[in-house]
Amino acid sequence: MKVVEAFNKGTPSLSFEFFPPKTAEQETKLFAAIDQLKNFHPNFVSVTYGAMGRTREKTFFWVNEIKRKYGIEPVAHLTCVAASKEEIAHQLDELEKIGTTNILALRGDPPVGEKDFVPPVNGFRLAKELIAFIKQSKPQMCVGAAGFPESHPAAPSVYKDTEYLKAKVEAGAEYIITQLFFDNRRYFEFIGRCEKAGITIPIIPGLMPITNLHQIKKMTETCGATIPGDLLAKLEKHPADVAKIGAEHTLAQANGLLKSGVKGLHFFVMNQAEPISRILSELKK
């Protein structure tokens, strides 16, 4: 199944993002998270991999395992990081062999401590180049792209960022999953810019419940998202209740987005099922 089919069924899609485990303990935790969240009948799940592509083999293993063991449609992440065009072509062949037809194509982040992205030798500089290569090599594959409601950190402005997003669509992207955000107004403003630019493919909001304040501060610094001042003050004032406050905030976000008519909700799980389960159990239908 191509995941774009899930966005046209008349009811909002549900999807999750996992990262592949690095240890046996993390593997057990991932199994437990999938076992718990599969009961919410997600339309698909995406599987990321770490910096410099170090967990790429594990990613492909879990893509196959999720489809085989759980019967859930997987979306494999592919990035421009540490991979030549020849290596990307090999990875596409590998994904095709295991029956994966859905890909989220990303540029990827520079290594920790480095400010600028340096493309590998005979590799891709930009996500739009990777998307075009995938669609040329495997036209049957369904390719998604990332969108940034508050603009990519490297973009000179939100308008230039929207122009670049349109270039990814013109290269062959069929849907967009947004980076995390904590203020729905940021998402609606982003949608407005996209509509004005002529971007008409589905744009699925990405949500992450805050469970660790230190962790989320680091993540938002990297991805360019902001935590609203009132929410941040509340989290800092009640450190023992961070997970509860975070879940309540994401629940309110999700309800507001569904009320506005979004085509789906995508949750960054961080391999922790409990916060997502709590939100989905209380979500208004």
Give the residue ranges of DSSP H helices in the chain.
24-37, 56-65, 85-97, 127-137, 158-171, 184-197, 213-223, 229-237, 242-260, 273-282
Residues whose CB falls within 8 Å of the CB of residue 43, separated by 6 or more in sequence, listed in order: 3, 6, 13, 14, 15, 73, 264
| pLDDT at residue number 59 | 81
CA–CA gap between residue 3 and residue 13 (Å, rounded): 9
| pLDDT at residue number 113 | 59
Mean per-residue pLDDT of the chain: 92
Strands 175-180 and 142-147: parallel
194's tokens: 């996209």
The dihedral sign for the CA sequence 113, 59, 272, 206:
positive
| pLDDT at residue number 100 | 93
| pLDDT at residue number 192 | 98
Owner of token pair 């949608």: 191
pTM of the prediction? Answer: 0.94
| pLDDT at residue number 52 | 46
Main-chain phi, psi angles of 145, to 5 degrees:
-135, 165
pLDDT under 70: residue ranges of the chain: 50-56, 110-115, 285
Owner of token pair 């998307």: 131
CA–CA gap between residue 50 and residue 247 (Å, rounded): 25
Main-chain phi, psi angles of 79, to 5 degrees:
-130, 170
Establish how many alpha carbons lie within 13 A of residue 113's alpha carbon, considering only the half-sphere containing its beta carbon: 1
**Domains along the chain?**
3-282 (3.20.20.220)
Hey, which residues are catalytic here? Answer: 17
